Amino acid sequence: MSAIAPLLVIGIGNPSRGDDAIGPLLAERLQRWLAEHAINHVEVLSDFQLNIEQVLDLAGRQRVLFIDASVNSATPFACERVSPIDSSHYSTHSVLPQQLLALYQRLMQQPAPPTELLTIQGEAFELGQPPSDMAQAGMAAAWPFLCQWCTGTHRTIV
């Protein structure tokens, strides 16, 4: 059995819904980049949405990064720290990153790993549509930051 990678990146979104594909697209590109550069201390996952089961993916990590589309950003991309927010309203189908961290702390009885949320501005989320020009530009702008996050040379951007 292999050791758990200390860094975890999770791309969130539906690849079939235009700009909602931002998280999975960046996760896929990152997996290729990590393989090309023989970087093995980062695990990359992708899912349509966060689920309570993913609390187990956080175990043993030193840092975690979620990637998701945003409709509320004033910039092409932003990255901010995520803190646990306890909520009594969990769904088995969709969980916010903050709720996942709180659930981790409750179940594991230890602090959640330092976590950040990388959001990329999107505008078109229709089923069957490709990512918009805005999303493409945001992903291109965020790419160097994402690579730096994986190599430990980043700074949080708010």
Task: Report domain extents, the chain.
Answer: 7-151
pLDDT of 7 higher than 80? yes
**pTM greater than 0.95 (yes/no):** no
Supply 9's token pair: 């990146």
Average pLDDT of the chain?
91
Average pLDDT, stretch 37-44? 95
Q: Give the pLDDT of residue 88.
A: 59
At residue 34, the pLDDT reads 97
The Cα–Cα gap between 130 and 154 comes to 29
pLDDT at 73: 80
- 157 pLDDT exceeds 70? no
Gap between the Cα atoms of 29 and 25, Å rounded: 6
Give φ, ψ of 70 to 5 degrees.
Answer: -140, 145
Could you tell me the two tokens for 31?
């997996």
What residues are paired with 66 via a beta bridge? 10, 117
Q: Region 10-36: what's the mean pLDDT?
A: 96
Superfamily of domain 7-151, CATH level 4: HybD-like (3.40.50.1450)
pLDDT tens-place string over residues 70-123: 998 878 999 999 999 976 555 555 789 999 999 999 999 999 999 999 999 999
Residue 24 tokens read as 């999975």
